[in-house]
């Protein structure tokens, strides 16, 4: 944990900035840094955004936007169609996704027009609920606003510095701060880059560099030298393949981002099955109110937890039943909605309701599942209150319900006596691990939205190559250059000299 200080509105304000080192580092950080060796821009006209509060369990998260398009972001995400709010005043607003107009959260928004903002530029703060799902959604929505991109290393602070917002005493230690950031980023990058993902990016980067070197050789030398006619045709094939591969990678069902934002696990089932008790057991604190009265939980209760190294967003929902109570009906609606969005549903059943015969119990469970889950969503069956069953029946169910066709994994537990909890946790952990795609063994996945943004830019640049290939090779080459630069933001900078080295290795330039 590295506590870092951030600047707000010209005064120092402490904010805990968490850098997790034990596992996949959080993706959106105020000073999320480049992996390339080159120092990032000191300032430019882009509008940048980042989560500026700590990543992890927190009640309120602050997302900052800085740059000329900040007002646009505020307009299209907080519904200010006409006038912007008065400066530096907190307002409670619905925060919506500009693409779908779906409400992501309700939170506070603040508008800081230039120059009276922490960065000296127009900026906006969104104070939203601290759950990873909400944060991820808001950040993704921001990424879809034209002109906005995730911030690079130290960019906010540097902009503030450029604008003269940091006094000289405040700047002391700034270098150390950025150094720490860079170090943390470097460690994370190393972890990422030594894995399969790193090898994948490195391979792309090598192939792209070669493409660029060959196009550049064709431009600079083909008039005087023997550069085989096939050179450009080979580049065409490589560029097409690379573009296809990158686009395929971008459509990888967001497995890597799940790792970053947390796996959404939803506890669902009938009333009074012990869902809230299970939540409390899993997060080892009374997050939800537990009572013997059916229908105690009426809204969704959300908790972030760390399950054997994987971030999990656990939601407890209202028990599913028909109710005449308006509030409870809304709770049930939200529960069903949440189950639909879940990566994994824990269907909790009161064991006492199970028929004693195994066959009939299996049929009961199948029917119950179909009433809880929309279709074939991933789920685990949790048979709670096992302590209430006679020992003999307990053993029989435990033995015989395993491997029954049409049923997911079944865990017999008791939140009262902790019986079976350890085994259940093992099963849950392995399910979550599968969902995230094991970074060590699984297919490489995107772990950072930043990577995604750079990869998208890379793929678009390769399309530019194809567009201009036959009419203007200089503009086509510009496409490959942009692609190399974009990928270089992930794998490291590529200089002109490196390209020339490849040229002279591959061609006999003899003029």
Contacts to another protein by CB under 8 A: 33-34, 37-46, 153-154, 158, 161, 168, 171, 174-176, 178-179, 182, 216, 218-221, 223-226, 468, 471-478, 495-497, 499-500, 503-504, 508-511
Q: Which of 273, 275, 284, 293 has the alpha carbon at shortest distance from 388?
A: 273
Angstrom distances, CA of residue 381 to CA of 99, 234, 268, 354, 437: 36, 54, 10, 13, 22
CA-to-CA distance for 30 and 32, rounded, in angstroms? 6
Shortest Cβ distance from residue 72 to another protein (Å)?
A: 17
Residues contacting residue 484 through CB under 8 Å, at least 6 positions apart: 205, 208, 209, 212, 494
Q: Where are the beta strands (DSSP E) in 241-309?
A: 263-269, 301-307
Q: Which long-range contacts (CB under 8 A, 24 or more apart) does 37-45 make?
A: 37/492, 37/493, 38/493, 40/152, 40/153, 40/154, 40/155, 40/158, 41/152, 41/155, 42/158, 42/162, 43/158, 43/159, 43/162
182 versus 323: smaller Cβ distance to another protein: 182
Shortest Cβ distance from residue 27 to another protein (Å)?
A: 19
CA-to-CA distance for 253 and 250, rounded, in angstroms? 8
Q: Where are the beta strands (DSSP E) in 401-509?
A: 410-412
Shortest Cβ distance from residue 477 to another protein (Å)?
A: 8
> For 306, how many CA atoms within 13 A lie in the half-sphere containing its CB?
11
224 versus 241: smaller Cβ distance to another protein: 224
- In the DSSP assignment, the letter for residue 354 is S
179 versus 199: smaller Cβ distance to another protein: 179
72 versus 272: smaller Cβ distance to another protein: 72
Shortest Cβ distance from residue 346 to another protein (Å)?
A: 44
Quick check: helix, strand or coil at residue 243?
A: helix
Shortest Cβ distance from residue 53 to another protein (Å)?
A: 23
Tokens standing for residue 402? 């395993």
48 versus 290: smaller Cβ distance to another protein: 48
Shortest Cβ distance from residue 94 to another protein (Å)?
A: 33
CA-to-CA distance for 10 and 55, rounded, in angstroms? 24
Shortest Cβ distance from residue 427 to another protein (Å)?
A: 45
170 versus 245: smaller Cβ distance to another protein: 170
Check residue 229 and give left, alpha or beta (phi > 0: left; psi -120 to 50: alpha).
alpha
Alpha helices by DSSP H, listed for 26-91, are 70-78
CA-to-CA distance for 107 and 130, rounded, in angstroms? 10
287 versus 500: smaller Cβ distance to another protein: 500
220 versus 398: smaller Cβ distance to another protein: 220
Shortest Cβ distance from residue 181 to another protein (Å)?
A: 9
Shortest Cβ distance from residue 284 to another protein (Å)?
A: 40
40 versus 404: smaller Cβ distance to another protein: 40
């Amino acid at each position: 944990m590295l506590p870092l200080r951030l600047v707000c509105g010209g005064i120092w304000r402490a904010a805990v900035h968490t850098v997790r080192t034990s596992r996949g580092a959080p993706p959106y950080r105020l000073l999320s840094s480049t992996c390339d060796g080159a120092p990032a821009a000191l300032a430019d006209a882009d509008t940048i955004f980042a989560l500026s509060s700590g990543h992890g369990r927190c009640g309120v998260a602050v997302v900052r936007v800085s740059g000329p398009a900040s007002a646009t972001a505020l307009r299209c995400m907080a519904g200010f169609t006409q006038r912007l709010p008065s400066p530096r005043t907190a307002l409670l607003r619905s925060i919506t996704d500009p693409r779908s107009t779906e409400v992501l959260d309700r939170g506070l928004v603040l508008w800081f027009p230039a120059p009276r903002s922490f960065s000296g530029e127009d900026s906006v703060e969104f104070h939203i609920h601290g759950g990873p799902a909400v944060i991820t959604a808001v950040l993704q929505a921001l990424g879809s606003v034209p002109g906005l991109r995730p911030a690079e290393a130290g960019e906010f602070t540097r902009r503030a510095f450029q604008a003269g917002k940091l006094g000289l005493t405040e700047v002391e230690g700034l270098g150390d701060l950025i150094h720490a950031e860079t170090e943390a980023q470097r460690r994370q990058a190393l972890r990422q880059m030594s894995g399969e993902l790193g090898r994948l990016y490195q391979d792309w980067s090598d192939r792209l560099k070669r493409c660029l070197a060959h196009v550049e050789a064709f431009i600079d030398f083909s008039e005087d030298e023997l550069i085989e006619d096939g050179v450009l045709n080979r580049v065409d094939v490589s560029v097409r393949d690379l573009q296809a591969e990158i686009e395929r990678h971008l459509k990888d069902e967001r497995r890597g981002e799940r790792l970053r934002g947390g796996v959404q696990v939803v506890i669902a089932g009938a009333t009074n099955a012990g869902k809230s008790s299970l939540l409390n057991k899993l997060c080892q604190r009374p997050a939800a109110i537990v009572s013997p009265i059916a229908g105690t939980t009426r809204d969704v209760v959300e908790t972030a937890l760390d399950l054997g190294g994987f971030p999990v967003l656990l939601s407890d929902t209202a028990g599913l039943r028909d109710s005449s109570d308006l509030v409870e009906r809304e709770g049930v609606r939200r529960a069903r909605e949440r189950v639909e969005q879940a990566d994994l549903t824990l269907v909790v059943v009161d064991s006492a309701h199970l028929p004693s015969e195994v066959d009939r119990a299996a049929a009961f469970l199948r029917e119950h599942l179909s009433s809880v889950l929309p279709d074939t969503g991933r789920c685990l069956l949790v048979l709670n209150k096992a302590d209430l069953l006679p020992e003999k029946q307990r053993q029989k169910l435990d033995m015989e319900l395993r491997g029954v066709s049409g049923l997911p994994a079944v865990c017999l537990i008791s939140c009262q006596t902790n019986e079976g909890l350890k085994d259940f946790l093992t099963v849950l952990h392995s399910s979550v691990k599968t969902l995230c795609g094991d970074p060590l063994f699984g297919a490489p996945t995107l772990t950072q939205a930043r990577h995604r943004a750079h990869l998208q830019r890379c793929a678009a640049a390769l399309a530019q190559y194809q567009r201009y290939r036959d009419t203007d090779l200089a503009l086509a080459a510009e496409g490959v250059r942009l692609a190399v630069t974009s990928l270089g933001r992930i794998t490291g900078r590529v200089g002109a000299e490196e390209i020339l080295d490849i040229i002279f290795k591959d061609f006999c330039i003899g003029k």
